[in-house]
Amino acid sequence: MKLNRIAPLLAITVGGFSLVSSAQADMKVGTIDMKLVFDSYSKTKEAEGKINEAREQAKKELDDRLGAFNKAQEEARKLNEEANKPELAEKAKAEKAKVLNEKLQALGTLQREVQEFQQTRERQLSEQSVRSRNALLEDINKVIADKIKGSGYDLVIDKSGQSLNAVGILVYSRDSFDFTADIIAEINKGSKPSKK
């Protein structure tokens, strides 16, 4: 009696596996190395150049501000030495101490301004970098979407991706599944060859 119940269940299970196997046989899979595509995109190098120029400009501005701060700090140190000379009269010491106090307050303000400038510029550069990267990825993803639609892929895997354990997500795939070179050629179509 139990065999009569198990036989239909077994037939349904085997039939289900056959349907899944059949569907998988018809599935078109592709792989792409998104890191290579992004790094090979001609506009990526242009964007990196612009970010690097902005970083250099920010560094120059910061160095100028730090130079002014260091100069003011040296002036405050000299005033402190003068104010502590034992041969100075009490009135002169008091005047020097007053000037020193004003200089130290100005120095504190200057230090805060330098720190605020540095934080603001770092945030601006980070935001600029993210906007630039997102725009580049949007361009790349449009080309990939067209390729996927045109070629009828059912599944596309980024073979440069890594799991949380820093291990590649894709363990193996045939080279024939990879269409990275096609995407690189398409996104760089019309761009000038890079000078080396």
The CATH classification number of 26-187 equals 3.30.910.20
Cα 60 to the center of its chain, rounded Å: 23
Task: Show the tokens assigned to 167.
Answer: 């291990």
Q: What distance in Å separates the CA atoms of residue 180 and residue 159, rounded to the nearest whole number?
A: 10
Q: Which pTM does this prediction carry?
A: 0.68
> With 50 as the cut, is the pLDDT of residue 29 above it?
yes
| Dihedrals phi, psi of 89, to nearest 5 degrees | -75, 160
Question: Structural domain boundaries of the chain?
Answer: 26-187
Span 33-45, pLDDT tens digits: 999 999 999 999 9
Residue 157: which residues within 8 A CB-CB, separation 6 or more?
A: 29, 30, 31, 32, 169, 170, 173
**Model confidence pLDDT, tens digit, residues 83-120:** 788 887 888 878 888 888 888 899 999 999 999 999 99
